[in-house]
Amino acid sequence: MAGSRRRQGLASGLTLSFLLVAACSATDGNGSGLSWKSGNWVNGDSDRLQRFEAMRGRPSDAVTQSLRGKDTWAEHAGARSEAEVEREFRRSPSDWRATPPTFAGIFEGSAWMAHVWGGYPATEHRRRIIHLAWMNVVPRTVGNGWENGRYRNPEIWRQIKEGAADRYMFLLGRKFAYLDERYGDTRYPMTIDLGYEWTIPSHPDLPEGSYRVGDTTHYTYRDFPYGWSRLVRVFKEGYKYQRGGRPCSYRFAWRPQLRFVALDRTSSENRLVRHEELWPNLAQDWIIAEDVVIDGVKVLPAGPIGRAADILAVSWHDSSRERVRGSSSTAPGNNWQQILDGFPTHWGLQEAADFAARQGVLLALPEWAARGASHPPASPYPGDVYRFTFAFLKRNAGILAYETVFDQGSGNLYRPWTPTPPSPEQDPLRVYRELWGSGPGA
């Protein structure tokens, strides 16, 4: 999108933003349209959601949970071992209803399972949009993280494309379906963030590296859209199998960082691979030649794999090349337009929104915040971060699914900011309340 149109779009700064509040702020919805929702990250203290709502003076419509990756595929299937995977896979849906499967591996720790299906108050929780952030979609022991000067397994996404994860993702889909059936379907379908900022080199599912097959060199990033799409499709098939044919209503979000780190080493300059080249829906016409059957169960039907990504999710508090400067798009010395337009090494925030619009999907911000002392470098003007984000969200309300805030500075936005802001106008709590504490639903 041309920079001139972007500049014109934000020329009126926050004035336009406030005029749009009534049009795009809501506290409930139809459950399937994903109209813009505003929420928060609820991992941590058991009263975090309630305290955040009290601080903000309005309900949270969306909540983000963290589901962390584990070491093995068996753990990602919610099992303790390969033998347990085998036993559970062979048991029928009716057998599961009589004697429940295990919920080990990724279902353990962080209390996220209780937040979604029981305990902390799950009934209330399930009436919201839940963004389930899976930190690592690929187990650490088989992933492609950088180790001892080389990529651990650059063939990982080809292996997934060819079915390495089928048994485990099918079983995982069944377990999500079992819990939904037992504890009540969601009013708002969950969004599963399949792969958390996989462009961070420390993460094991990074689509970087190359490998040889015969005399041909292959590149990890080219396998990625196919492997990612297969993970989603097989999960959905497992869900449908457990529910007796009822399709999975979840949405799947693809979340890169804003920066580009994957390289195309076929070019002399080691070209940075833009995220547009890794968009999972590039693989939607990929044909599965014949039914994939495991132990007599069809885990993937023949035919096109279909569209796998429903939402583009980005978090930019630690992903943009520059930290926000300026209280508006017209303030002297502001860098708003640079952050929107992007850089050769970074996706601009508006570039990401425009890409989502072109692909016909919605945009979500599962994490955004000013950075504080606990996640240096701290934002020198935290209030401006919230002013910038507010203007951006209002401007892009037509394609926005939801946003949730996780304040990395203090752990919770309602706690005092450290270090002390340079002026009251930069106090993030004060600014957040000023921006979000008025309008419908306040």
Profile the chain (442 residues) by mean pLDDT over runs of 10 residues.
Answer: 39 32 38 65 73 75 83 95 97 97 90 81 77 83 86 94 98 96 82 77 82 93 96 98 96 91 81 94 98 97 97 81 90 95 94 97 89 78 91 91 71 68 86 68 34
- The ranges assigned to domains in the chain are 1-63+109-132+314-442, 69-87+135-302
How many angstroms separate the most distant Cα atoms in the chain? 67
Rounded-to-integer distance, Cα 185 and Cα 302, Å: 29
Please report the pLDDT score of residue 432 as a whole number: 83
Q: Which two tokens stand for residue 279?
A: 């968009």
pTM given for the model: 0.90
pLDDT at 34: 59
State residue 336's pLDDT score.
Answer: 95
Angle between helix 220-242 and helix 166-183 axes, rounded to 10 deg: 40
- Which long-range CB contacts under 8 A does 51-59 form with residues at least 24 apart? 51/412, 51/414, 52/412, 52/413, 52/414, 54/414, 55/413, 55/414, 55/429, 55/433, 56/432, 56/433, 56/436, 56/437, 57/433, 57/437, 57/442, 58/27, 58/436, 58/437, 58/441, 58/442, 59/27, 59/441
pLDDT at 261: 83
Residues in the chain: 442
According to DSSP, the residues that pair with 191 across neighbouring strands are 131, 251
What pLDDT is recorded for position 76?
94
Q: What is the pLDDT of residue 116?
A: 86
